[in-house]
Amino acid sequence: MNTTLTYTDTVTRIGYTIIGGTKVVQYSCTIPMGKPEEMRITSTRLNPELYKEHRDICRADLAAFEDAAYELQDEYVKKLSK
């Protein structure tokens, strides 16, 4: 059997929507250093009840997180193209 262990260096940014001291949603973006255009963005509902009550806030935070993630991605795309 022929096996190979490989690594991918990444940059990860994590953010949270926190309401009343409780983490409601976690947002994450992962940017592969060699291929920053392949960034992944995920969100995880940590407290579904509070999420339901505050969807408008959580959705606004997701949009803000995505904007910040794309700015970060653009920085790494520029660095790679130099």
* pLDDT of residue 80 exceeding 90: no
In this predicted structure, what is the pLDDT of residue 1? 84
Q: Over the stretch 19-77, which tens digit does the pLDDT of each residue have?
A: 999 999 999 999 999 999 999 999 999 999 999 999 999 999 999 999 999 999 999 99
HEC readout, the chain = CCCCCCCCCEEEEEEEEEECCEEEEEEEEEEECCCHHHCEEEEEECCHHHHHHCHHHHHHHHHHHHHHHHHHHHHHHHHHHC
Q: For position 81, what pLDDT does the model report?
A: 84
Determine if the pTM surpasses 0.85.
yes
